[in-house]
Amino acid sequence: MILVLKSKATDEQIDALIKELAAIGVNVVKIEGAEKSILGLVGNTAQVDSDHLMAQDFVESVKRVSEPYKNANRKFHPEDSIIQVCDKTVGGLDFTMIAGPCSVECEDQIMTVAREVKKSGATMLRGGAFKPRTSPYAFQGLHGAGIDLLLQAKKETGLPIVTEIMSLAHIEMFRDVDVIQVGARNMQNFELLKVLGQCDKPILLKRGLANTIEEFLMSAEYIMAGGNNNVILCERGIRTFETMTRNTLDLAAVSLIKQKSHLPIIVDPSHATGLIDLILPMSLASIACGADGLAIEVHNNPKVALSDGAQSLTPKQFEEMMAPIKAQVKFSGKNL
């Protein structure tokens, strides 16, 4: 940990700080520069609060040298984490293909989509029962009934189900869900993350619209700090100035996270781009750069979808796309 001091810092101030840090076992090395001095902190700096140091009015900046995440850090867990989901595994050499509608709308819809995507090679079924919508007047999901329909689809097809939780008040309803999704808007809903850290279900954590890679890993750390190591990350595009795509898919984040963390990471090209014609090329690119899976929206009749129809594939389009996707997965050395 490095502190750059303001030029006005006095010896008394510096000595007092050194003494304070020594008391918690942190040694300080001082470097006097031409304009400003620098303090290097050595020892167990994980317990030192950057905010506290920044609050000293003679400190100009604080820079951590070590990453602030431990459980999610590949340094302390060099091999890939493999997450068990029913009879499937996420991470490692297995490639995960999650498919399904944005929202669960009715029995016919979800059963049709589930059968179709299973036939085309999907390994899990997604579908929203609780939907985060910008407008209070838009369709908000079928709630408990939606989860029941997903479970019915699982029963028939055997596909594990993935569905989003929006409030810890609903946690009981997710008892039989296989993977609980935390949406982008809740990535820093820390109270929700804490609760999910206390269950042992796999959590699919989506990156927030404006969250850095480090914040993303720190949110995984929240879940893991509670004892739940079954975290699957999901890159789904970040918000930038570009308006032609819905978001900007950050594939470099996928490769970088594979290097920094042992957690599996999948990509959601449907939300990332919002454009059907980009789903296949972004899927191929995701596989090529090391993603552990994909989550793709498929609707039996996108024209009447109650949400996100514009970016949903038909089962037929999904089936056609699966051929090049499977080929690329195989080429990249993974199994689907």
| Residues 129-168 contacting a copy of itself, CB under 8 A | 130, 132-140, 166-168
Residues in region 168-197 near a copy of itself by CB under 8 A: 168-170, 185-186, 188-192, 194
* x-or-dash string of contact with a copy of itself, 223-262, rule CB under 8 A: --xx-----------xxxxxxxx--xxxxxxxxx--x---
Closer of 78 and 136 to a copy of itself (Cβ): 136
* 18 binds a copy of itself per the rule CB under 8 A: no
Residues in region 207-226 near a copy of itself by CB under 8 A: 208-210, 212-215, 218, 221-222, 225-226
The maximal CA–CA distance of the chain, rounded, in angstroms, is: 75
Residues in region 81-140 near a copy of itself by CB under 8 A: 130, 132-140
Closer of 149 and 278 to a copy of itself (Cβ): 278
Residue 19 Cβ vs a copy of itself, minimum distance, rounded to whole Å: 14
Encoded tokens for 51: 């905010």
- Report the residue from 8, 19, 24, 52 that binds a copy of itself according to the rule CB under 8 A: 52
Query: Could you count the other beta carbons within 10 Å of the beta carbon of residue 127?
Result: 29
Q: What is the DSSP letter of 324?
A: H
The sign of the dihedral angle between the CA atoms of 211, 213, 215, 219 is positive
* Separation of alpha carbons 229 and 221, rounded Å: 9
* 6 binds a copy of itself per the rule CB under 8 A: no
* Separation of alpha carbons 196 and 198, rounded Å: 5
Closer of 7 and 84 to a copy of itself (Cβ): 7
Closer of 65 and 145 to a copy of itself (Cβ): 65
Of 279, 312, 268, residue with least CA distance to 96:
268
- Report the residue from 289, 319, 320, 326 that binds a copy of itself according to the rule CB under 8 A: 289
* Separation of alpha carbons 303 and 27, rounded Å: 65
Q: Where are the beta strands (DSSP E) in the chain?
A: 2-5, 27-32, 37-42, 59-63, 83-85, 88-90, 96-100, 124-126, 161-165, 179-182, 203-206, 231-235, 265-267, 293-297
Mark the segment that binds a copy of itself (CB under 8 A) among 47-55, 82-90, 119-127, 174-182.
47-55
- Report the residue from 8, 22, 44, 200 that binds a copy of itself according to the rule CB under 8 A: 44
Residue 245 Cβ vs a copy of itself, minimum distance, rounded to whole Å: 5
- Report the residue from 18, 36, 88, 92 that binds a copy of itself according to the rule CB under 8 A: 36
- 181-209 burial, b if ≥16 CB within 10 A, otherwise e? bbbbebbbbeebbebbbebeebbbbbbbe
Mark the segment that binds a copy of itself (CB under 8 A) among 59-67, 82-90, 113-121, 145-153.
59-67
Query: Cα–chain-centroid distance for residue 228?
Result: 15
Residue given tokens 């479970």 in the structure block = 151
Residue 164 Cβ vs a copy of itself, minimum distance, rounded to whole Å: 11
- Report the residue from 282, 294, 298, 329 that binds a copy of itself according to the rule CB under 8 A: 282
* Separation of alpha carbons 251 and 236, rounded Å: 9
